[in-house]
C-alpha cells in the first residue's frame, strides 16, 4: 500500500501544480523516473568489445558503459536472430510463443499485436515520452503496405510517440527511412514500390547486372541494386527517398541527439537501435581503415564513435546522471553474412564470439550470449555480474523501476540485478535460434536433439544441431566442447524436465 501511495504522490502533486513547469520539475526530480535509453547493436558478438576481452579492436565508448556500469557475463538476447530478439525486448514475451516471430521480409505485417502491452507503452503510462531511432524489423502495416501513404500500424501504434526507422534490415528493401509512418523525402511523382516475390519490369538486379555492383553478393542478396549494393527484395521508385548507406550511422545519431535535446525536460525513453555490424557493412569514409579489419571492424569503430557522441550529448545537456542506459546486441556475430566484404579474410586474431561456440543463428552460446551492460552514472556501482539475465527481463524490471504493475508474460523482474544490487538473476532461460529452442539453467546448457545440418555452410557457423541431446557445463567448459549428456544422465533428465515444463506451457 505504501509503495502505491508513494508512486501516486507525484501524480497528486502534478494535479495540484498550477503551472506546467512546476509539474515537470516534480517528475524530473523523482529518482524513479530517470530517462531510459536502450542502445541496441545488430549482430555484435560477445567478443567484439574490448571490455569483453577483445584485443584487436578498440571500443572505448561501449567499454565505458560496461566498465563503469554493471557488465554482465551471462547476459542474453532471447534469440540468435534479430526479429525474435527485438520482439522479446519490447514485449517481455518469449518469441517462440509467436509462430511469426522469425526473420521478417520488409513487407511483413506488424508482428506485435497493437493490443499487447509493450515496454514503451508501459513507460508512456508513467509519463515517459517514447521514441525509436534506427532498425525496426518487426513488420509494418497489415500485410499490404502502400509505401506512399501513411504506414499504419507502425511503431507509433505499439507505444512509441516518435519513430524514425529503417523498416527491416540494411540489406532488405525498402531502402528508405520512415518517420512516424511516412517515408522521408518521398516525391509523390516517383512512388516507392516493393515486392519480395517478383522484380519490376526493366529493373536491374544483382544477379543479372554484376557490372553495376560496388559490393558483391556471396549468397542471397541478388535482387534490387541500391547504391551499388544488391539487396534482398525488389524495389522501384522513391529515388529521392533512398538512404545513403555510408551516412546511415550519422543519420541515426543525428536523430537520436535531436530526440534527447527535444525531450530533456520530461522523462524520456529512447530505443536507439544501431544498424552495425550487420551487413551490408558500409562505414563512412571517415572510418574506412580505422581497424585494419575491413568493413566489419570499421563499422564497429564507427558505432563506438556514435555511442561516444551520444553520451557526450547527454552530458552536455546535463542529463547523463539522470539517464539509465542499457547496452546490448540482438544476436551473436557472423562474418560472411552474404557479401564479399573481407570479414573473414581480414579477421586476423580477432574473436568476435570470444571464447563461445557458434555465432548468429546458433543454439550454442555465441548465438544469444551477448555484450550486456547497464550504466547509470552515480547510481550504479561499477562491477562485473555473473547473474543470468535476458533482454526479455527488461520489461518487468523497468516496470518495477517506474512503479508499474505491467509485467511481461516471460519477463522476470530483476531490477536489483540490473542495478548491481544483487547477483541473483533468473534461474533458467529458454533461448531460441531460427525456430529451435534450447535451455540454460545454473551452470548448464541443454540442447534438445535437432536433425538437420550441424553447420550452415554459407556463413560457416555451427548452429547446434545434433541427433542426440547435448549437455554442457558452462562453468568448466564455456566453449561447449564436452557433451556430458551420456555421462550425466540425472543432470540431463533434470534439465529436460525443467525445459519441457516451460516449453510445453
Q: Which of 169, 313, 404, 465 contacts ligand NG6 by CB under 6 A? A: 169
Strand partners, 39: 272, 327
User: Does residue 432 bind Ca ion (CB under 5 A)?
Assistant: no
Q: How many residues bind Ca ion (CB under 5 A)?
A: 5
User: Does residue 140 bind ligand NG6 (CB under 6 A)?
Assistant: no
Contacting range for Ca ion; rule: CB under 5 A; set: 28-36, 119-127, 330-338, 473-481: 330-338
Calpha distance 465→448 (Å, rounded): 8
Q: Which residue has the cell 571500443?
A: 59
CB 331 within 8 A of CB 79: yes
The item of ligand NG6, Ca ion, none sharing an interface with residue 169, based on CB under 5 to 8 Å by kind, is ligand NG6
Is the preceding omega at residue 280 within 30 degrees of 0, hence cis? yes
Closest distance between ligand NG6 and the C-beta of residue 169, in Å? Answer: 5
Q: How many of the other CB atoms lie within 10 Å of CB of 349?
A: 7
**DSSP-based three-state secondary structure for 494:** helix
CB 447 within 8 A of CB 469: yes
**DSSP-based three-state secondary structure for 456:** strand
Residue ranges in 201-260 that form contacts with ligand NG6 under rule CB under 6 A: 219-221, 232
Q: Which residue has the cell 530526440?
A: 259
The item of Ca ion, ligand NG6, none sharing an interface with residue 478, based on CB under 5 to 8 Å by kind, is none
x/- map, 71-90, Ca ion, by CB under 5 A: -----------x--------
Closest chain position to ligand NG6 (CB): 220
User: Does residue 433 bind Ca ion (CB under 5 A)?
Assistant: no
Query: By C-alpha distance, which of 68, 37, 72 is closest to 370?
Result: 72
Residue 477 phi, psi (nearest 5): -145, 70
Residue ranges in 324-343 that form contacts with ligand NG6 under rule CB under 6 A: 331, 337-338
User: Does residue 48 bind Ca ion (CB under 5 A)?
Assistant: no
User: Does residue 102 bind ligand NG6 (CB under 6 A)?
Assistant: no
Q: How many residues bind ligand NG6 (CB under 6 A)?
A: 17
Q: Which of 137, 257, 263, 369 contacts ligand NG6 by CB under 6 A? A: 137
User: Does residue 171 bind ligand NG6 (CB under 6 A)?
Assistant: yes
Calpha distance 172→163 (Å, rounded): 19
Q: Alpha carbon of 15 to those of 5, 26, 263, 372: distances in Å? A: 15, 11, 21, 39
Binding site for ligand NG6 (CB under 6 A): 42-43, 81-82, 103, 137, 169, 171, 219-221, 232, 278-279, 331, 337-338
Q: Which residues bind Ca ion (CB under 5 A)?
A: 42-43, 82, 330-331
Amino acid at each position: 500500500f505504501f509503495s502505491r501511495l508513494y508512486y501516486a504522490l507525484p501524480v497528486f502533486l502534478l494535479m495540484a501544480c498550477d503551472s506546467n513547469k512546476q509539474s515537470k520539475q516534480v517528475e524530473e526530480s523523482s529518482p524513479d523516473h530517470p530517462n531510459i535509453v536502450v542502445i541496441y547493436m545488430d549482430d555484435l558478438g560477445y567478443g567484439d568489445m574490448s571490455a569483453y576481452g577483445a584485443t584487436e579492436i578498440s571500443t572505448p565508448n561501449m567499454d565505458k558503459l560496461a566498465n563503469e556500469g554493471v557488465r554482465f557475463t551471462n547476459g542474453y538476447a532471447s534469440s540468435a536472430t534479430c526479429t525474435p530478439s527485438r520482439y522479446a525486448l519490447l514485449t517481455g514475451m518469449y518469441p517462440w510463443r509467436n509462430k511469426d516471430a522469425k526473420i521478417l521480409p520488409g513487407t511483413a505485417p506488424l508482428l506485435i499485436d497493437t493490443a499487447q502491452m509493450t515496454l514503451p507503452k508501459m513507460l508512456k503510462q508513467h509519463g515517459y515520452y517514447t521514441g525509436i531511432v534506427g532498425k525496426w524489423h518487426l513488420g509494418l502495416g497489415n500485410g499490404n503496405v502502400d509505401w506512399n501513404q501513411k504506414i499504419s500500424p507502425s511503431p507509433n501504434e505499439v507505444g512509441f510517440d516518435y519513430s524514425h526507422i529503417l523498416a527491416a534490415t540494411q540489406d532488405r528493401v525498402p531502402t528508405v527511412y520512415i518517420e512516424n509512418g511516412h517515408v522521408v523525402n518521398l516525391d509523390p511523382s516517383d512512388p516507392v514500390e516493393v515486392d519480395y516475390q517478383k522484380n519490376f519490369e526493366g529493373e536491374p538486379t544483382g544477379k543479372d547486372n554484376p557490372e553495376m555492383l560496388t559490393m558483391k553478393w556471396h549468397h542471397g542478396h541478388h535482387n534490387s541494386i541500391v547504391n551499388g549494393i544488391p539487396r534482398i527484395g525488389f524495389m522501384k521508385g522513391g529515388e529521392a527517398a533512398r538512404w545513403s548507406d555510408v551516412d546511415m550511422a550519422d543519420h541515426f545519431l543525428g536523430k537520436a541527439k535531436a530526440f534527447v535535446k527535444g525531450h530533456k525536460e520530461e522523462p524520456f525513453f529512447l530505443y536507439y537501435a544501431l544498424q552495425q555490424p550487420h551487413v551490408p557493412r558500409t562505414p563512412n569514409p571517415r572510418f574506412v581503415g580505422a581497424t585494419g579489419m575491413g568493413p566489419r571492424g570499421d563499422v564497429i569503430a564507427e558505432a563506438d564513435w556514435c555511442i561516444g557522441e551520444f553520451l557526450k550529448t547527454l552530458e552536455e545537456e546535463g542529463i547523463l546522471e539522470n539517464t539509465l542506459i542499457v547496452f546490448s546486441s540482438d544476436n551473436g556475430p557472423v562474418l560472411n553474412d552474404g557479401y564479399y566484404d573481407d570479414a573473414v579474410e581480414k579477421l586476423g586474431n580477432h574473436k568476435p564470439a570470444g571464447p563461445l561456440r557458434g555465432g548468429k543463428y546458433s543454439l550454442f552460446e555465441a548465438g544469444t550470449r551477448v555484450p550486456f551492460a547497464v550504466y547509470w552514472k552515480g547510481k550504479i556501482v561499477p562491477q562485473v555480474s555473473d547473474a543470468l539475465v535476458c533482454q526479455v527481463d527488461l520489461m518487468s524490471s523497468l516496470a518495477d523501476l517506474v512503479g508499474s504493475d505491467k509485467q511481461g508474460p516471460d519477463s522476470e523482474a530483476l531490477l536489483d540485478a540490473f542495478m548491481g544490487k544483487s547477483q541473483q538473476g533468473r534461474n533458467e532461460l529458454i533461448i531460441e535460434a531460427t525456430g529451435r529452442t534450447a535451455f540454460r539453467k545454473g551452470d548448464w546448457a541443454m540442447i534438445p536433439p535437432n536433425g538437420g545440418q550441424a553447420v550452415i555452410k554459407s556463413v560457416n557457423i555451427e548452429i547446434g544441431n545434433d541427433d542426440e541431446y547435448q549437455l554442457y557445463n558452462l562453468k568448466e567448459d564455456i566453449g561447449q566442447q564436452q557433451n556430458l549428456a551420456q555421462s550425466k544422465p540425472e543432470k540431463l533428465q533434470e534439465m529436460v524436465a525443467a525445459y519441457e515444463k516451460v516449453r510445453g506451457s
